[in-house]
Copies of this chain bind each other. A is one copy, B any other.
Amino acid sequence: MDISELGEFGLIARLTSGLATRSPQDIGIGDDCAVLDLAADRLLLATCDSQVEHVHFTLQTSSPVAIGRKALAINLSDIAAMGGTPLYALISLVLPAHLPVATLDGIYAGLRELALRYDTALVGGNVSGTGQRGEQLIIDITVLGSVERGRALLRSGAHPGDLLCVTGTPGDSGAGFYSLQHPTLPVDTATLAYLHERHTSPTPRVFEGRVLSSFDPGWVTAALDISDGLSGDLSHLCESSGVGARLDLARLPRSSALRTLARVAEHDPYAWALHGGEDYELLFSVAPEHAEAVAQAVLAQTGTAVTIIGTVLPPAEGMQLVYPDGHAEQLTIQSWDHLKQ
């Protein structure tokens, strides 16, 4: 069965069956708008991001469940980067008429799985067809969240002297993408499975972001997610904060799977970490006297490692990359441009 047989209203009924609301005041499904109850002492966070078939994913290299997970994960990651709690999601779909219903069910299984894990209610949405002139499946999601007043982690608060930290092991997503494009590399299946998973089902660092926003203001001074790649997103942080930065390449945490693939593929492992993008780890700056305590708290409360990878500099010093042998160069920025492919 494809979705044109189900029809718009049949499809909506299928997608919305059994969805729960968050508070008795919430009226989630079936009216013109979702009606949502928000606590008074909090600010609202709102973000949207889309996944376009053949640009961000293909049905050949990702399972429908992974596509659904990732479409929500990239939005949850933006809430995480602000230190917020995700609350609600609105799902807008543009669907080719001959999309199998089973594919859509898989996508929704992935969406619901992640929504459940991060306690996010699916409260609204929209479906459109592509018509006969288009064939691309598009999943566009808006996530609403909240953060305590004065606690939002912005990009703009980094000061010279702060330390730069990152969660997890950036570069895994880029390495996973590379391995999907080079399927004949002689790499063990456990390594490939780990890297594919990191690329196709990234983990939004929601719990980690909540730990970061729990400290007194002035401890964690700026944060963002590294969806565009470490170099590009560091440049965003520097621009917003009006600072420079030094990144110590020797400190960059690399997963053993990434190192294995880099060795077999004879690929620079730092390139994936610096420019690969789509890692959805958090990059943040911390007052130097609190960096260890922050890293320990994140690890203790979430199990996610935090690594100090550099230092915030005065703006005149620009963005520097220090190589393992100690020599420094200007950091080259390679951001993913979604319009130039």
Q: Does A128 contact B (CB under 8 A)?
A: yes
| One of A30-38, A168-176, A179-187, A250-258 at the interface | A30-38
> Is there an interface contact between B48 and A142, defined as CB atoms closer than 8 Å?
yes
Instruction: Determine the residue in chain B with the shortest Cβ distance to A77.
Output: B32
- A154-B27, A339-B8, A340-B7 known; A134 vs B131 contact (CB < 8 Å): no
Residues facing B in A135-155 (CB within 8 A) are 135-136, 138, 140, 142, 144-145, 147, 149, 152, 154-155
| One of A119-127, A190-198, A312-320 at the interface | A119-127
Residues facing B in A66-124 (CB within 8 A) are 77-79, 81-82, 84, 88, 90, 92, 94-95, 97, 123-124
- Contact for A134 among B135, B147, B240, CB less than 8 A: B135
Residues of B within 8 A of A7 (CB): 337, 339-340
Instruction: Determine the residue in chain B with the shortest Cβ distance to A95.
Output: B339
What distance in Å separates the Cβ of A179 from its nearest Cβ neighbour in chain B?
21
Q: Does A189 contact B (CB under 8 A)?
A: no
Residues of B within 8 A of A341 (CB): 97, 129, 131-132
> Is there an interface contact between A152 and B82, defined as CB atoms closer than 8 Å?
no
Residues of B within 8 A of A124 (CB): 46-48
Tell me the complex Cα distance, A33–B79, Å: 7
Q: Does A19 contact B (CB under 8 A)?
A: no
Q: How many copies are assembled?
A: 2
> Is there an interface contact between A82 and B4, defined as CB atoms closer than 8 Å?
no
- Contact for A33 among B84, B133, B337, CB less than 8 A: B84
Tell me the complex Cα distance, A222–B316, Å: 61
Residues facing B in A250-308 (CB within 8 A) are none
Instruction: Determine the residue in chain B with the shortest Cβ distance to A46.
Output: B34
Tell me the complex Cα distance, A81–B43, Å: 25
Tell me the complex Cα distance, A291–B216, Å: 56
> Is there an interface contact between A339 and B3, defined as CB atoms closer than 8 Å?
yes
> Is there an interface contact between A33 and B11, defined as CB atoms closer than 8 Å?
no
- A38-B44, A79-B33 known; A97 vs B339 contact (CB < 8 Å): yes
Residues of B within 8 A of A33 (CB): 45-47, 78-79, 81-82, 84, 145
Q: Does A49 contact B (CB under 8 A)?
A: yes
5 CB contacts below 8 A, A to B, read A9-B335, A31-B240, A44-B44, A47-B124, A127-B339
Which of A's residues lie within 8 Å of B, judged by CB? 3-4, 6-9, 11, 25, 27, 30-38, 40, 43-50, 52-56, 77-79, 81-82, 84, 88, 90, 92, 94-95, 97, 123-136, 138, 140, 142, 144-145, 147, 149, 152, 154-156, 224-225, 240, 335, 337-341
